[in-house]
Structure 1
């Protein structure tokens, strides 16, 4: 290990000298490869185009050789032993239960994983989430008109949340967007992957210079979440991205293969996302676990979503609720001009038209979503999600409650089950100042 750390300390300067002296890096277009020019496995840098042209089959952007830099990552060994990079086989060895669709449901440690996400750091395979790559000269203008975020003002390496809405501002999905040099990557909920892909293609007109590619099956997506996320990245010598604004993303390399790391995990609080190739996913996953991350399956991730109050399609994001009622104020731009749903959203804000909001509810027992929420015998809302709770709450639900009924602290009845309304960390209830 001492020798490894010593090698890591000088790797940055070695990479710079090697990159300047080796023209074959540029012809390969892959960054630095282990054994090639004696450079280590994990590099930070902008990717070169292959043969001088954009490689549209890749989700990663082209970057110039002059901006190529490398970070040594001591946990990514310079000469690791050969391993089987089949991610699911690696996960099964760790106790994963994987369903027929390839979704990792649990590692048999759901309580431990929840605790890690709230007190330490957990890592979740979010690869069942959709990933679309939008390219073409008109891509920012196009996306600007399709969702709530202000894409026209965004620069490469920035990112944001954005909401796809109906013309009446009803919610379809909350997406993450990463603006890269030649493309925009959209991360979508699993259930909306196809419908949003079809919707976006529907609005591409003949003269629009826009292309959309579904890269879900070509890539993996990991989420690193919890208050110790920064500490985990420091162990990997990835300090450069720590403290950057939400959505900021940088590009690295493992075995010459690109890895994009972005600020924001998709959950509340500290965290990061990693977009990577299928060939390196297993290696990166093992490295994250060896560095202290606790693996989390989809069952625990859904539980965490509800506990944090993140709205999801089919539950909180439906035709019954608008984007403001769902607490997604921070995704909205009031200065960007026309987009789908914009007129309704503007009227709701101008005339204080939000009549109900999303809240958390600590429940004494499990209740089926869709059940009315009652106060003093009067219906004031509807339960949308329910999961196992924490601390003094046996179960925890999400639900929309009319503003006139009150908010945090009120007592409610849900199908005979007593509940206490509480605030939830993921959402906001007003525009950012």
Structure 2
């Protein structure tokens, strides 16, 4: 494993008051110092709003400035692809263990960030995706699914409701498609603007059972224990940063959205507090083991949102929206014929392989990965309901045995409440 050069973070040294960068109000300043190997100190200031209303006086819209985050990651042993994706730190098994027992930090800056603004933005997204945006307030958030008119899946988005915009975080492969689709549905009188701010921002995910400890050390305890999607604005080393509960990779942990100019400092600080870096190779392995569907694998025009099991992102009571008629019909007439499942496999299998049960075709493998230390095999696939019970033995391809297994992400999905506010 590559040795990471990490700065040692001292605890917060002082709490004073200073004007907010965004609205001139007086906010608490939290400062801390980071020592490097040459005993020099850098002093960082972490400023946050003193009340929920103050925290939403500004919106995250930083300028497109150059940054040295990828240089910092490369210098620390990270392998970065030509298109700027952090692929590996040569520590995949260690990072997967840290997700279970410690804390990992993942650079998700190659994922898409879409800013939806304008007076009609809430109503617009309410009609275009599966979640109930009209029941959310500033500072809250949710997951929502982009679907076709027949409820076929496009992508899962993590959304934040801000004062002047809604921020959507989506998969790297769907960002452009989603922007084009949203622009297509903006009519002449609609007050909606769609902006791609992916290259103007950086995005980190902090995940694992020790995530709360790191937030406490950074004096961000006000987010611990808050509902999924809750987010607040801060200032780190003079740069804006928004921190939210949950992320694109885990319901637990936190998301950090920031200006590129401050990203390297944030990254170094998280490593100095004990976060283990995780690259995209280990992240893909984690995604499959956790059972989270992804575009071009489990999310496609072949499968609808209910077959994908994305119940936590769907509202049944919000009125008309894209895909609603199909979703309602599937539920009313028990039309869900197959579902996404985990599979413990006896050997390596190719995605796209046929899944059979008692000699009959019942589904298709959509994703495959090797387990930790390359000692096991795991996959995801769609299987017809009659063969999809946990513990059933199926055959993948010609002769690979598979046992239907429960996966954490899908096991947390529950049919939406009939409460009108859901």
TM-score tier, shorter chain, comes to: 0.7 to 0.9
Equivalence for 2:415? 431
Q: Distance in 2 between matches of 1:171 and 1:215?
A: 24
Tell me by how many angstroms 1:405 deviates. Answer: 1.4
Structure 2 counterpart SS, 1:427: helix
Q: Distance in 2 between matches of 1:48 and 1:337?
A: 29
Equivalence for 1:81? none
Superposed CA offset, 1:94-115 (max 9, x none): 2111111000000110111111
Q: Distance in 2 between matches of 1:252 and 1:321?
A: 40
Equivalence for 1:299? 281
Q: Distance in 2 between matches of 1:242 and 1:140?
A: 27
Is 2:221 the partner of 1:217? Answer: no
Q: Is the 8 A contact 1:144 1:150 kept in 2?
A: yes
Tell me by how many angstroms 1:354 deviates. Answer: 0.8
Q: Distance in 2 between matches of 1:116 and 1:135?
A: 37
Within-5 A mapping of 1:94-113: 94-113=76-95
The structure that is strand-richer by fraction is 2
- Determine which of 386, 395, 403 is the counterpart of 1:420: 403
- Determine which of 340, 346, 349 is the counterpart of 1:367: 349
Tell me by how many angstroms 1:268 deviates. Answer: 3.5
Equivalence for 1:44? 48
In the superposition, the TM-score normalised over structure 1's length comes to 0.85
Q: Distance in 2 between matches of 1:106 and 1:422?
A: 28
Q: Distance in 1 between matches of 2:27 and 2:181?
A: 33
Tell me by how many angstroms 1:30 deviates. Answer: 12
Within-5 A mapping of 1:354-433: 354-390=336-372, 394-415=376-397, 416-428=399-411, 430-433=414-417
Equivalence for 2:98? 116
Q: Which runs of 5+ in 1 are unaligned?
A: 60-83
Superposed CA offset, 1:182-219 (max 9, x none): 10000010010000001101111111111111000000
Q: Aligned pair in 2 of structure 1 residues 240, 269: CA closer, same or farther (>3 Å)?
A: same
Tell me by how many angstroms 1:237 deviates. Answer: 1.6
* Number of corresponding residues: 391
Q: Aligned pair in 2 of structure 1 residues 350, 269: CA closer, same or farther (>3 Å)?
A: same
Q: Distance in 1 between matches of 2:392 and 2:375?
A: 15
Is 2:13 the partner of 1:7? Answer: yes
Q: Distance in 1 between matches of 2:22 and 2:329?
A: 54
Equivalence for 1:69? none
Superposed CA offset, 1:149-188 (max 9, x none): 0111111000000000011100000001000011000001
Q: Aligned pair in 2 of structure 1 residues 55, 242: CA closer, same or farther (>3 Å)?
A: closer
Q: Distance in 2 between matches of 1:28 and 1:123?
A: 32
- Determine which of 210, 234, 251 is the counterpart of 2:233: 251
In the superposition, the TM-score normalised over structure 2's length comes to 0.87
Moved more, 265-274 or 333-342: 265-274
Within-5 A mapping of 1:341-360: 341-360=323-342
Equivalence for 1:62? none
Equivalence for 2:35? none
Q: Is the 8 A contact 1:261 1:273 kept in 2?
A: yes
- Determine which of 109, 126, 130 is the counterpart of 2:108: 126
Q: Aligned pair in 2 of structure 1 residues 29, 130: CA closer, same or farther (>3 Å)?
A: farther
Q: Distance in 2 between matches of 1:25 and 1:212?
A: 23
Q: Distance in 2 between matches of 1:55 and 1:223?
A: 20
Q: Is the 8 A contact 1:31 1:48 kept in 2?
A: no
Equivalence for 1:286? 268
Structure 2 counterpart SS, 1:213: strand
- Determine which of 165, 168, 172 is the counterpart of 1:190: 172
Structure 2 counterpart SS, 1:191: coil
Q: Is the 8 A contact 1:364 1:393 kept in 2?
A: no
Q: Is the 8 A contact 2:149 2:323 kept in 1?
A: yes
Structure 2 counterpart SS, 1:289: helix
Q: Aligned pair in 2 of structure 1 residues 250, 57: CA closer, same or farther (>3 Å)?
A: closer
Tell me by how many angstroms 1:92 deviates. Answer: 1.0
Tell me by how many angstroms 1:265 deviates. Answer: 2.1
Q: Is the 8 A contact 1:31 1:257 kept in 2?
A: no
Q: Is the 8 A contact 1:373 1:383 kept in 2?
A: yes
Q: Is the 8 A contact 1:30 1:47 kept in 2?
A: no
